[in-house]
Structure 1
């Protein structure tokens, strides 16, 4: 069941590459002079409140999880929790900003877990006797912590309200972040599978370690891509 959940998350993350890109937005060109500088987030919220065209309130492409909750016929629309109106979308953009901020914080929390897990894993490979037993216990606890933190951080990204417009054209740090996410999510799945297979197949330890290091490297790079 755990593997099915991870594979499902991987499929959703791949889908996100074609759906949304960033929180950056732009005004409709028909409403502003060509020489006008980029609008701030507050300007965007104000422009949404003045909009009357419902077709422009949502991007054409959304990932599955966003469509389920925030789509034109999504769960929150049907329950009238989040009506699809210019005022409602303005509030959703504020929610999106908050959720993505929490996503970034969760990324650093998870990264700290990866570092601790790496140190424990290196110690575990050379430990013996009681030291091995104690280290293995902490290694397993840290793995549980990482899986929870990683899953929560990913869920925050996948369920945020959609942006006003779709992805920017060309290469961006957001796209790099998401390409790296595919790598580290795949690595998470592989690392977890191999971790459960090592008990009966000790010869898989080098592959488990390689998958873990690859996952950490891709994850750290994805954090750096948005931070600097």
Structure 2
């Protein structure tokens, strides 16, 4: 009996001693916690762009359509410019030959008269069609006003258009003065305006091409 009491006293903890399992549990609870994931540093400073509305998408599609139409019309306008310059040069050359034939001692046989007339008619039609492509091309984005190559082109072609209109009038008046002394004066004016028109057209063509 005494032996059992001694064993119990030896095994049992004293009053001030904390049981080992509780001490281990306390150590586990008070130990360092595992580190979590680091905070993200790839957040966006600006808010995300709002989804465009149906009206905005429709305006964008219309703008793209107008720009495509403008590019197409100006492409054909450029082709018309080549044709206009070529036909206008031919008209001036034929007009010069006709002038020399009639007033420069060529015998006034009229070799180039019909050629000059019909090439001039064709040139006028080509010029009008080419100008229409530029005038009626849509302008979806307004361009600020300023002196640039496009402005010089417009000024030069406005002068050329005025010259073409003047040439039509002078050509009719010159033909109506057949047999009169004043016909040569009108023919000379017709010739001068013709070269001026050619020079203006060449200027307008050059500033955009080169």
TM tier, smaller: 0.5 to 0.7
Deviation at 1:86, TM superposition (A): 2.5
3-state secondary structure, aligned to 1:182: helix
Distance 1:219 1:113 in 2: 11
Matched, 1:171 2:153: no
May I ask how many residue pairs the two structures share in their alignment? 150
Distance 2:66 2:158 in 1: 26
Deviation at 1:93, TM superposition (A): 0.6
Scaled by the length of structure 1, what TM-score is found? 0.60
Give the number of the structure with larger relative contact order, counting CA–CA contacts within 8 Å between residues 6 or more apart.
1
Deviation at 1:167, TM superposition (A): 2.5
Aligned to 1:140: 117
Match of 1:206 among 188, 191, 195: 188
Given the superposition, is the C-alpha separation of residues 195 and 94 from structure 1 closer, same or farther in structure 2, using an over 3 Å criterion? same
Looking at CA atoms only, which structure, 1 or 2, has the larger radius of gyration? 2
Deviation at 1:130, TM superposition (A): 8.4
**Structure 1 residue ranges (4+ consecutive) displaced by more than 6 angstroms after TM superposition:** none
Scaled by the length of structure 2, what TM-score is found? 0.65
Distance 1:51 1:222 in 2: 42
Distance 2:53 2:123 in 1: 44
**Which structure 2 residues correspond to residues 118-137 of structure 1 after superposition, within 5 A?**
118-127=92-101, 132-137=109-114
> What 5-or-longer segments of structure 1 have no aligned partner?
1-48, 55-83
